[in-house]
Amino acid sequence: MANRVWVKNEIAALLAKELGRELWEITDIAENGESKKDKEERFFIAQKLLDAQKHMVLLDECEDIFSRYGSWFDDSLRKDHINKLLESVKIPSIFLSNSADIDPAFLRRFDIVLEITAPPKDKKKAIVEKSLKAKRISLDSHIITQISESSFSQGVLLNACKVAKTLAQHSTHRAKERKATITESFVQVLNEHLKLSGAKAITLVKEQPLPYDMSLINASMDMKVLCEQIKNIPKSESGHKQSVRILAYGMAGSGKSEFAKALAKELDKPIILKRGSDLLSMYVGGTEKNIAKAFMEASKQEAILVFDEVDSFLQDRSGAYMSWEVTQVNEMLTQMESFNGIFIATTNFMDNLDSASIRRFDMKIAFKPLDFARLCKAFKLYAEHLGVFRIHAGQRGISIAR
């Protein structure tokens, strides 16, 4: 099972090749593009007709079958049908799923259950570069970096390459201009995919990052000092650094999330930022699973984990009306306790948080609006960055001259 992004089909094909077997794939789409609904029947037939020594069977998107049955209603006849399907396996078979939400009663019937997770950023970048090289497409490094940070499958990348090269072939431009056409078309195809998921678009021009100075943060403690303290935390006997749990609270725009990003840069660590909309689920138990998954992902990548707008699911349990309002907070506290890394939660509404949850944080840091001195310093820093000169900050305000 895995996220739709990662190349499960290619892994299955590689496994069959290594074993010297022919892979028979059962999907919902026929060769003519029409939808087929007899996937289960075709699986049964494959088990009867194929040779266990020569073939393997691939059942793609098996969650379509399993998701019809489970906790929503008790359909014992249909569940029995699925059990018979699993018990009928005589040919080595691979079931692919984009979701782990499968009844445990079915999962127990598999010999191996394997989760395929996203590769680290550097490996994903290497995969992107290899795919582009195979298609003889050259892109600037900053575009490749943006692609590797996005959730594209290899299939989407290869399709974008195909579209871009097709458009370039029909171009009347010279070679240098055709290269620009390929780049623009390639990025446009990818951005259409990103638009559907509400993700940030890929930019052709390299963005110049704004300068950042931690001393500008008007907080209840010196953030530069805090950063140095976190850097110097000694490792335990197991080789892990002591966990750090920070609750950053204050009005919107006071620099809470930007501090987390700056801290990750200072510590040379990846950062995983989750907003309330990324974690909250419409299904009972879904939010708890998303919370656990976020902590697991951060542990594997040794990343700084940031929960933005944490008040959306960490509200005071004393006023809870539904059981899931309590279980969300409980899951959050359990994950915080077992997490051996840096965890930062931000909120604009400190008073709404569960009091027991607040006590679990090592540090509670108040972020305030910039005072006049910091405002002048920030204005000068960014004005100089933009090429504005001769800035004077006095008691009556700030004057600028070129």
Residue 99's nearest CA partner among 335, 369, 293 is: 293
- Locate 358 and state its tokens: 């607040």
- Secondary structure (3-state) at 132: helix
The mean pLDDT value of the chain amounts to 82
* CATH topology (fold) of 214-367: Rossmann fold (3.40.50)
23 strand-pairing partners: 56
Residue with more model confidence, 41 or 100 = 41
Q: Mean pLDDT highest for which of 73-77, 101-105, 318-322?
A: 101-105
Residue 2 has pLDDT above 90, yes or no: no
What is the rounded average pLDDT of the residues 121-133? 85
Q: Give me the pLDDT at residue 304, please.
A: 95
pLDDT above 80 for 313: no
When pLDDT is cut at 50, 70 and 90, the band that residue 3 belongs to is very low
Alpha carbon of residue 338 to chain centroid: 21
pLDDT (average), residues 288-295: 91
First to last CA, the chain: 60
pLDDT number for residue 117? 75
Widest pairwise Cα distance in the chain: 88
Helices H / strands E in the chain, number of each = 16, 11
Chain position carrying tokens 């027991």: 356
75 vs 157, residue with greater confidence: 157
pLDDT of 5 strictly over 50: no
Q: Determine the pLDDT at residue 312.
A: 80
Which residue's structure tokens are 């708890």? 288
Distance CA 324, CA 44 (A): 40
Query: φ and ψ at 26, to 5 degrees?
Result: -110, 115
pLDDT at position 72 is 45
Whether pTM exceeds 0.85: no
User: Model confidence over 151-198: pLDDT tens digits?
Assistant: 787 778 888 888 888 877 766 656 666 677 888 888 999 999 888 877
Using the predicted structure, report yes or no on whether residue 358 has a pLDDT greater than 80: yes
| Residue 244: half-sphere exposure toward Cβ, Cα within 13 Å | 23
Q: Is the dihedral of CA 31, 32, 36, 38 positive or negative?
A: negative
169 touches 158 (CB < 8 A):
no
The DSSP 8-state label assigned to residue 290 in this structure reads H
**Chain centre to alpha carbon of residue 106:** 28
The pLDDT assigned to 104 comes to 80
Quick one: pLDDT at residue 67?
67
pLDDT digits (tens, 9 = 90+) for 334-350: 999 999 999 999 999 89
Taking CA 324 as the corner, what is the angle to CA 320 and CA 328, rounded to the nearest 5 degrees?
95
More confident residue, 322 or 226: 226
Place of tokens 């078309």: 185
Question: Where residue 20 falls among pLDDT bands split at 50, 70, 90?
Answer: very high
Portion of the chain with pLDDT greater than 70, in percent:
83
- Phi-psi sector, 166: left (phi>0), alpha (psi -120 to 50), beta: alpha
Candidates 336, 354, 356; CA nearest to 244 is 336
For 213-270, the pLDDT digits (tens) are: 888 999 999 998 999 999 888 776 666 667 899 999 999 989 999 999 999 999 989 8
- The answer to whether the beta carbons of residues 369 and 251 sit under 8 Å apart is yes
Exposure string over 180-200, b if 16+ CB within 10 A, otherwise e:
ebbbebbbbbbbebbeeeeee
User: What pLDDT is attached to residue 16?
Assistant: 93
Write the DSSP symbol of residue 324: H
Q: How are the residues of the chain apportioned to helix, strand and coil, as percentages rounded to the nearest 5?
A: 50, 15, 35
Which phi and psi angles does 305 have, rounded to 5°? -105, 125
Provide the strand spans (E) within 136-290: 218-219, 244-250, 271-274
Q: Where are the domains of the chain?
A: 1-108, 121-197, 214-367
How many angstroms separate the Cα of 231 from the Cα of each of 8, 113, 215, 241, 263?
A: 38, 39, 17, 10, 9
pLDDT at position 389, please?
Answer: 60
Determine how many CB atoms are found less than 10 A away from the CB of residue 90. Answer: 13
Measure the CA–CA gap between 289 and 280, rounded to whole angstroms.
Answer: 10
Range 47-53, long-range pairs (CB < 8 A, 24+ positions): 47/88, 47/89, 47/90, 47/91, 47/93, 48/90, 50/24, 50/91, 51/91, 52/90, 52/91, 52/92
pLDDT score recorded for residue 261: 92
